[in-house]
Structure 1
Amino acid sequence: MDSRFLAIDELTETPSVAVVVDVMRAFTVAAWAFGQGAERIVLAGSLDEALAHKGRHPDWVALKDGAPAPGFDTVNSPGLLRSMDLGGRTVVQKTTAGTVGALAVKDASLVLCAGFVVAEATARLLRTRGCDRVTFVVTGEEGRADEDLACAQYIARRASGAETDAAGFLRRAADSRAATELAEGIREGVHPDDVQLCLELDRFPFAMVARREGSLMALRPHTA
């Protein structure tokens, strides 16, 4: 499999297959939302768009990065989300990097959103689909986030069928700037368990596929 690893601003053309990686924390949160019963996640392009969706659909659950804010139900934290019952609900998510990356490749024929918690399911879907050229979008820190690059490289190796020890990749993520900032409480809207939850390899058995649903870009779980 031919794998490319690009930052969001390095996407000069629409890839055929894109895997958008945000370990800490957008797509770990998304996986937890599905684990808590959410039906789909609408990826919003801005905070105003997320609030507009919430205004039209009061039963939807809106979440964002950072500190709690009026109009939003919760924040982008897996530790906080795991206590919520989201059975059958639609979640609206807006984050600094992950949702931006997914919307940047919305015209790709296959868009997967991933973190370590869905790594094997993501790799399995790429293998099942016979994807021979995959663009991994490394969303954090303008493409320099080592937790995202480590996860992308691990998924790429697994998608190629290589037996791969995840320990080194997880260690890189644990030592990353994002992990340090979350652990030290530098970032807002953080639960003490967030880093640990972001590093739980293959916690969930599904991949996450994003596709257009009318005017929306929606993420749904996919179990091979």
Structure 2
Amino acid sequence: MEARFLGIPELVEAPHVAVVVDVMRAFTVAALAFAQGAEKIVLAESPEEALALKARSPDWVALKDGPPVPGFDTVNSPGMLRSVDLRGRTVVQKTTAGTVGALAVKEASLVLCASFLVAEATARLLRTRARDGVTFVVTGEDGRADEDLACAEYIALRADGAETDPAEFLRRAAESRAAYELAHGVRQGVHPDDIALCLELDRCPFAMVAALEGSLMVLRPHPVPPPAGEASP
């Protein structure tokens, strides 16, 4: 499988298959939201759109990066998300990198959103759906975020069927600039467990597929069974 690794500014045309990676923290949060029973996640283009969607559907759960803001139910923190009842609910998510990256490739034939939590399921889906290659969108730091690049490279290797030790990729993520900023109070809206939660490899047995539903980009879980004879993670 041919793999390209691009930052958001480098996307000049819609790829055929795109994997949008945001480890710290958008698509870790998304994976945990689905694990907690969320039905779907609407990826908002702006905080104003997120609040407008929330106003039309008050039972939806709206979240964004940064500190708590009136109108939003919670923030883009996997640790804080654990206290929110998401069973059967719709989440509206707006972040500075992950949702921007997904919206940038919304015209692609297949858009997957990924973090370490869904790495193996994402790789399995790519094995069947990305025979002509895949573009990995490294959302953080204009494509330079090592936690996102490490995750993307790991998924690409697994999609090719390579037996790959994840330890080095997880180490790079743990030592990334984003992890430092989360640990040292540079970013707001952070729970002490956020970094550890972002490094939980293959916690979830599903990939996450984003597609246009009307005018909205909607993310949904896509179960990916393990090959016959292989146990789920």
Q: TM-score range by the shorter chain?
A: over 0.9
CA offsets per residue over residues 11-62 of structure 1, 9 Å max, x none? 0111000000000000000001001100000000000000000010101000
* Residue of structure 1 in register with 2:127 after alignment: 127
Aligned pairs for 1:206-217 (under 5 A) are 206-217=206-217
Q: How does 1:129-148 map to 2 (within 5 A)?
A: 129-148=129-148
Unaligned runs of 5+ in 1: none
Q: 2:83 & 2:28 partners in 1: Cα distance?
A: 15
Structure 1 letter corresponding to 2:193: D
Distance between the aligned counterparts of 1:71 and 1:172, measured in 2? Answer: 36
Matches of 1:106 and 1:120, distance apart in 2 = 23
* 1:113-159 Cα distance to aligned partner (Å, 9 max, x none): 00001000000000122433100000001111000000000000000
| 2:166 equivalent in structure 1 | 166
How do residues 5-16 of structure 1 correspond to structure 2 at under 5 angstroms? 5-16=5-16
Instruction: Please give the alpha-carbon distance, in whole angstroms, between the structure 2 residues aligned to 1:130 and 1:21.
Output: 16
CA distance in 2 between counterparts of 1:202 and 1:164 reads 14
Q: How does 1:132-211 map to 2 (within 5 A)?
A: 132-211=132-211
Task: Answer whether contact 2:17 2:130 (CA < 8 A) is retained.
Answer: no
Instruction: Give the structure 2 partner of residue 110 of structure 1.
Output: 110
Alignment of 1:69-108 (within 5 A): 69-108=69-108
Q: In 2, Cα distance between the equivalents of 1:173 and 1:131?
A: 28
Q: Residue 221 of structure 1: SS of its match in structure 2? A: strand
TM-score for the superposition, normalised by structure 2? 0.95
AA at the equivalent of 2:166: A
Deviating above 3 A after TM superposition, structure 1's stretches of 4 or more consecutive aligned residues are: none
**CA distance in structure 2 between the partners assigned to 1:69 and 1:34 by the alignment:** 23
**Whole-angstrom CA distance in 1 between matches of 2:223 and 2:152:** 20
Residue identity over aligned pairs, in percent, reads 79
State whether residues 112 and 207 of structure 2, in contact with CA within 8 Å, keep that contact through their aligned partners in structure 1.
yes
SS state at 1:62 partner: strand
Please tell me whether the aligned partners of residues 54 and 60 of structure 1 are also in contact (alpha carbons under 8 angstroms): yes
RMSD: 0.7
- TM-score of the superposed pair, with normalisation by structure 1: 0.99
- The DSSP-based 3-state class of the residue aligned with 1:117 is helix
Q: Which consecutive unaligned segments of at least 5 residues does structure 2 have?
A: 225-233
Pairwise CA distance, 1:84? 1.6
Aligned partner of 1:50 in structure 2 is 50
